[in-house]
Amino acid sequence: MECPKCKKTVGENDAVCRNCGIALKEPKRKKFNVKRLVNRKKMQASSDLKTVEGRKGLVRQKINENRLKLVLFIISIILIIVLVIVLISHISGEKGNKIALELIEYSGKSVSDAETDVGIHLKDGSSYRGVNTALKFDYVFESEDEVRINDITYPEWAVTVLLDKNEKIESVVYTDFKSVEDDLRGDKKDKDINLDKFDKGAKYSTVTDEIDCDPYSITYKKDNTSYLYKYYYMTDNGDAQQVIINVAFDDENKFLYYSSELVYPENM
């Protein structure tokens, strides 16, 4: 092969003349592949879109997670508030019943002795008209918290004391007005409660499991305790029948007797 400039002989594969330095062959240029570039752009765009969608998905997921956490937090706060209210109410009721139990320990003794040792002041009249008209007592100690029942205000609970003819403590009654705040008739039952199947001496837990509701009031005496329950059930003709049941136990919590009274509407 001959160099086109210096006419010297050069090799067939030489890219440059060894004598004059002229380029013998033009360097191969890579062909511009438009299709490949377009495909690459499409792939990049698709990848970018997936990345953006992925980021949006992560953002949405994070927002949903935060919303769920907020909802769960709010629910937890509400449950805590409800629990605190229930506990406060329970503790308040337990306080009243505890005072009643402490007072009955002074059965046959004077009110002044009980007041001094228990650390409370008994009044000869309630601050609530409903208590004065609904309960029979000589002295009373009542909750500072109130409830409204049929548009009448009562204390949440009251502890009342009855004296014997010698002016000594004969009985102490704990009344839980809050238990009938929602319905003055008491708990709703499926049917009438019948305790005839229980013999004298039956266990307290066996009898009260059959009743299956909280007492409206508890009367403590030296040798026995009686529980008064208020409930109602629906009769076959669709009417509501209210019942008051009184159940007595001895000082060893053994069943003594019970009485049941049907309550009918008056002044209609």
Which residue did the predictor score with more confidence, 39 or 160?
160
Residue 159 has pLDDT above 60, yes or no: yes
**Tokens coding 142:** 């009542």
Ramachandran class of 142: left when φ > 0, alpha when ψ lies in -120 to 50, beta otherwise? beta
| Number of C-beta neighbours around residue 122 at 10 A | 19
Q: Give the tens place of pLDDT for each residue, 14-63.
A: 777 777 777 776 655 555 566 676 677 677 767 766 676 777 777 788 78
In 3D space, the residue among 98, 115, 119, 94 whose CA is nearest the CA of residue 106 turns out to be 115
**Tokens coding 186:** 């008491």
Lowest mean pLDDT among 82-86, 161-165, 187-191: 82-86
**Tokens coding 129:** 């008209």
Give mean pLDDT, residues 122-128.
Answer: 96
Half-sphere exposure of 126 (CA within 13 A, CB side): 24
- Cα-only R_g, the chain: 45
pTM above 0.75, yes or no: no
Q: Give the tens place of pLDDT for each residue, 169-193.
A: 999 999 999 999 999 999 999 999 9
Residue 12 has pLDDT above 80, yes or no: no
The pLDDT of residue 11? 77
Which of the four pLDDT bands, split at 50, 70 and 90, describes residue 76?
confident
For the chain, give the percent of residues with pLDDT over 90. Answer: 63
Could you write out the DSSP letters of every residue in 129-180?
HHHHHH---SEEEE-SSEEEETTEEEESEEEEEEE-TTSSEEEEEEEEGGGG
What is the length of the chain?
268
Domain boundaries, the chain: 38-178, 183-268
Distance CA 218, CA 214 (A): 10
The pLDDT of residue 117? 93
